[in-house]
Amino acid sequence: MVKQASSKGTKRKKGLYWLRRDWRLYAMLAVPILWYVIFCYKPMAGLIIAFQKYNIFTGIKGSKFIGLENFEFVFGMRDFGIALRNTLWLNFLDLLFGFPVPIILAILLNEMRMLKLKKVSQTLLYLPHFLSWVIIGGMVLEIFAPTSGAINALLLKWGLVESNVPFLTNGAWWTFTYVLVGVWQGMGWGTILYLAAITGLDTTLFEAAQIDGANKLQQIWHVTLPGIRSTIVVLLVMNIGRMMSIGFDRPFIIGNTLVQDTCDVISTFVYRAGIQNNQFARATAIGLFQSVVGLILITVANSVSRLFDEQGIW
Amino acid sequence: MKKFQKVLSLALAFGMCVSMFAGCGSGSDDKGGSSSAADKTESSAAQSDSNEESTPPAENNDEWITLRVEMYDRSIAGFNVEDCWQLHYIQENFGDPNHIKVEWVPVSRWEEGTILNTQLAGGTAPDICMTYGGDLVQQYVDMGGIYALDGMLDEYAPDLKAFLGDNVLEYGQFDVGNGKEQFALPARRIIVATQVNYIRKDWLEKLNMEVPTNVDELYEYLKAAKEQNLGGEKTIPYASDLYSADPFYGWIYQMDAFIDYSQVTEEDWVAHHDFHYLLPGAKEAIRWMNKFFNEGLVTDYFGIENSDQTKSDRVNGYDGFWMGNWDAAWRMEDSFQIDLEKNVEGASYIACDAFKPDSEDKPHETYTAAGQYIFIPASVPEETAIAALKYLNWMCQPESLFALQNGEEGHNYTTVDENGIPTDLKNVDDTEDAYKLHATDGAPICNGFYYGSDELNFAASANAYPGYTDEVAHSLEISNTFGYEPISFTRTIQARVDYGTTVISKEAELLVQTVTCKPEEFDAKWDEYMNALLTSGGQQIIDEQREAYKEGAYRGSYPMAE
């Protein structure tokens, strides 16, 4: 009731009134807005080169408009389909295995009673997030390489395997390594939002559950999880929106030629067929295509979540 | 309290503004950089004007011109590109007499391509640009971004023209529809040798074997090295890993040895430039490698680039045989030989040619006679372009070139021998900061030390590896034997622009998959990945190169022509 009344009140006042009253807040808001306009919206004008035969010497204004030729060329390339398929597949696996892990981890961390141990494990879990992929790539080689890699060396020494486990050299095994490393790197960082959401839960709910005789598992299932449901949904929607885009570093650094058909994703494809070749217009065309599909995916995911009476992200 | 809030919010807003504009500044670095560079040009011009006034007026009242020259910055400690001995020497001996203020614009060696792109697109590129990227130059030519030098060379740079010679100059000529025109000035490459095979001399002695001269003998050596674990438990008889930037670079030597030249025409040769693996017989070189791999004679991480591991294997003495550049074993900055000797007593590498199946001479691909490309952007005004040509023309005078490459007597070397070659040219690390120099960058028209003749140049090159002079000379000789220059094209092969990098990635796949598969799968894998390579644009490139052959739009020739 209260909420409604106040929103009615808002309507009656004119926009200028709020601007005058809260101008300091608006002034502060103006800064990030300006930032977005300058660094995110203005460069969008450059997207036009996706439709041009771009010449770096004559610039955007002097380049010839060629319609969808760049798109046709890129979609016609043999590797594009493979890269698209791999992008979606790897992202799907990441979502399948990588998404639930931070939730579980956050709940586990939350249930920890020894504060010191909790703090230490939290820090240790965050740590990989701050490592550059180049460093992680080096570690992956040390650990998973054939013969000289730590795991293979041990397995061979103990006689558990007869020949190397092809962690990096066989498509399916490589996918396993890729997902494993990704989950390991991201899980700690992913817990932050969930932990914040859990901390925000009303403690009386837990007390009530305890009085009703709920054990720990039941408390988690009936109080914690429903409590952070909206956070989970928002993050899920955002993750689905990112299905089409994939970071460059991780597949590029962990990947290798032997598993080219598995590890080639859109970002590495763009780098190879666009940037390395100085084909900026084609690279832009792929980028635009990715963004459009990403926009569609996120819109659909958002609508679906709203259908299920969740908030969505807008 | 309210007042405090007001103040606080204002302070916060102000802080954000400041930090944002700081971001702005670094974000639009290009513009800032260019304007400050322009300022600098003006101020230095003004400065030189005032200099002129103070000194007795020169007879001709020429305005001073500022010439900005791209210079690689290799992050050599103590060496300041913008203020170094070479630059002072140039200013004194060339700049001042000609009323030209020479500035060197530092560009990181490892990002030169990217930076050049950005600078050219932003119109801030130096007046003299250089790059090793031949394809990049051709793309710039096609886009109309490079100054056409036709006719100007005769007038302003006759000595340069003579120094480079027709063969080298040809590599800077491109056809954009009006016949061949001179756009770029390629550097003259002193040593065109590329690769050799390296083998462990001490292992050969232990096995009582001669240096292998064909693949069967090599096989015997590799097998014996493995059986006797000559490098310990971790022996790698044939060390080889993938170079994914150009997978077949280290293979052309082997493949060329297996080609059946009686079945190859000049047209095939040109059409299959960079596709030697498709020429009849070349496949057998890879089949041998597959055999080696399956018998455990090759690095087991073949296919995973791991240069640190490769390097440590080599200096720890595990490796028995590998391919490398003619001086790879002895290079000063990264000498495998010196480190190997420290780790394994009596161990040494020698160069050899282990792929001569019929004990007949087989051609070796070398580099082209042209090194990096030097060019003037089309946006440069005519008088500056003329100044640029004068600069390069001055640079190839024997006296200037010697000074720029060798430095100053007493500082960079003690004295010269009877041939005029410095006896003890100092390493850049051992030189005083004020005299530090980079020979090839400072005199970009010449890749390698130039002392007047091939003979002297080769001798001087070997001298640069103290302690290993004979070994290096031997290696150079092997690598130069029956050398041929690779084919190149005078017009853009559009398919290569479109599919070049894709084909390279397919080459890596082809190589790795066929070497590491089981011997009985070899042919099937070869066909599978070759098919992928050809359908990813490889066939288009070959077809277009064949067209270029028919048009005569290529340089080089078939080395086995009757």
The verdict on a CB contact (< 8 Å) between A31 and B17 is yes
- What are the structural domain ranges in chain A? 17-67, 74-307
Beta-carbon count within 10 A of B491 CB = 19
The verdict on a CB contact (< 8 Å) between B13 and A28 is yes
- Using CB atoms, which residue from A24, A31, A79 is nearest to B536? A79
pTM recorded for the entire structure: 0.79
- Which residues in chain A are closer than 8 Å to B117, comparing Cβ atoms? 56, 278
Q: How far is CA B301 from the centre of its chain?
A: 27
Which of B304, B309, B318 should we substitute to test contact with A (largest number of A Cβ atoms within 10 Å)?
Answer: B304
DSSP A168-220: TTSHHHHHHHHHHHHHHHHHHHHHHHHHHHHHTS-HHHHHHHHHTT--HHHHI
Binding-face residues of A in 144-183 toward B, CB within 8 A: 145-148, 164, 168-169
Residue B100, beta-bridge partner list: B65
The verdict on a CB contact (< 8 Å) between A141 and B303 is no
| Closest to A246 (Cα-Cα) out of A223, A264, A272 | A264
For chain B, list the domains and their CATH numbers: 62-188+371-448 (3.40.190.10), 195-365+484-555 (3.40.190.10)
User: Interface pTM (ipTM) of the complex?
Assistant: 0.75
Three-point CA angle A22, A23, A28, nearest 5°: 105
- Say how far apart CA B470 and CA B32 lie, in whole Å: 53
| Closest to B146 (Cα-Cα) out of B125, B164, B171, B166 | B125
Give whole-number Cα distances, B390 to B187, B326, B385, in Å: 16, 35, 9
pLDDT for the residue B453 = 86
Give whole-number Cα distances, A248 to A243, A253, A273, A281, B507, in Å: 14, 8, 14, 19, 22
CATH of domain A74-307: 1.10.3720.10
Would you call A32 exposed, middle or buried from its count of C-beta atoms within 10 A (0-12, 13-18, 19+)? exposed
Binding-face residues of A in 263-292 toward B, CB within 8 A: 264, 272-273, 276-279
- Which residues in chain B are closer than 8 Å to A78, comparing Cβ atoms? 502, 532, 535-537
- Which residues in chain A are closer than 8 Å to B499, comparing Cβ atoms? 77
Copy the structure tokens of residue B548: 């270029």
pLDDT for the residue B47 = 40
Q: Dihedral, CA atoms, A92, A93, A97, A100, nearest 10 degrees?
A: 0
Instruction: Mention every residue, 6+ apart, whose C-beta is less than 8 A from residue B23.
Output: A35
Q: Check CB contact of B145 with chain A, cutoff 8 Å.
A: yes
Q: Is B332 left (phi over 0), alpha (psi -120 to 50) or beta?
A: alpha
The dihedral sign for the CA sequence A257, A258, A259, A261:
positive
- Which residues in chain B are closer than 8 Å to A79, comparing Cβ atoms? 502, 505, 536
| Closest to B317 (Cα-Cα) out of B304, B301, B333, B329 | B329
The verdict on a CB contact (< 8 Å) between A78 and B532 is yes
- Say how far apart CA B241 and CA B152 lie, in whole Å: 47
pLDDT for the residue B358 = 61
- What's the N-to-C CA distance of chain A in angstroms? 23
Would you call A285 exposed, middle or buried from its count of C-beta atoms within 10 A (0-12, 13-18, 19+)? buried
Length of chain A: 314
- Say how far apart CA A117 and CA B477 lie, in whole Å: 67
pLDDT for the residue B10 = 54
Copy the structure tokens of residue B426: 């100092």
pLDDT for the residue B360 = 65
pLDDT at A85 over 60: yes
The verdict on a CB contact (< 8 Å) between B508 and A164 is no
pLDDT for the residue A185 = 93
Which of B505, B506, B512, B514 should we substitute to test contact with A (largest number of A Cβ atoms within 10 Å)?
Answer: B505
Q: How far is CA B318 from the centre of its chain?
A: 29
pLDDT band at A170 (very low <50, low <70, confident <90, very high): confident
Q: Dihedral, CA atoms, B341, B347, B349, B353, nearest 10 degrees?
A: -170
Instruction: Mention every residue, 6+ apart, whose C-beta is less than 8 A from residue B277.
Output: B248, B251, B255, B283, B286, B507, B510
- Which residues in chain B are closer than 8 Å to A59, comparing Cβ atoms? 121
Token pair 């900061």 is found at B433
The verdict on a CB contact (< 8 Å) between A57 and B12 is no
The verdict on a CB contact (< 8 Å) between B145 and A277 is no
Give whole-number Cα distances, B181 to A98, B378, B492, in Å: 58, 14, 14
The verdict on a CB contact (< 8 Å) between B304 and A31 is no
What value does the mean pLDDT of chain A take?
Answer: 87
The verdict on a CB contact (< 8 Å) between B9 and A146 is no
Copy the structure tokens of residue B485: 């220059």
Would you call A310 exposed, middle or buried from its count of C-beta atoms within 10 A (0-12, 13-18, 19+)? middle
Q: Check CB contact of A239 with chain B, cutoff 8 Å.
A: no
The verdict on a CB contact (< 8 Å) between B304 and A272 is no
- Which residues in chain B are closer than 8 Å to A29, comparing Cβ atoms? none
Q: How many CB pairs under 8 A join A and B?
A: 110
Q: Dihedral, CA atoms, B141, B142, B145, B150, nearest 10 degrees?
A: 50
* pLDDT tens over chain B, length 562 residues: 455 555 555 555 555 544 444 444 333 333 333 333 333 333 333 344 434 334 444 445 568 999 999 999 888 888 888 999 999 999 999 999 999 999 999 999 888 888 898 899 888 999 999 998 888 898 899 999 999 998 899 999 999 999 999 999 999 999 888 888 999 999 999 988 888 999 999 999 999 999 998 899 999 999 999 999 998 888 999 998 888 888 998 888 889 989 988 899 999 999 999 999 999 999 999 999 999 999 999 988 887 777 778 888 889 999 999 998 888 888 866 678 888 988 998 899 999 998 876 656 678 889 998 999 999 999 999 999 999 999 999 999 999 999 999 998 888 888 888 888 888 877 777 888 888 888 888 999 999 889 988 888 888 887 778 788 889 989 988 888 888 999 999 888 999 988 988 999 999 999 999 999 999 999 999 999 999 999 999 999 999 999 999 999 998 888 887 6
pLDDT for the residue B32 = 35
pLDDT for the residue B94 = 94
- Say how far apart CA B399 and CA B159 lie, in whole Å: 13
pLDDT for the residue B363 = 86
Beta-carbon count within 10 A of B543 CB = 13
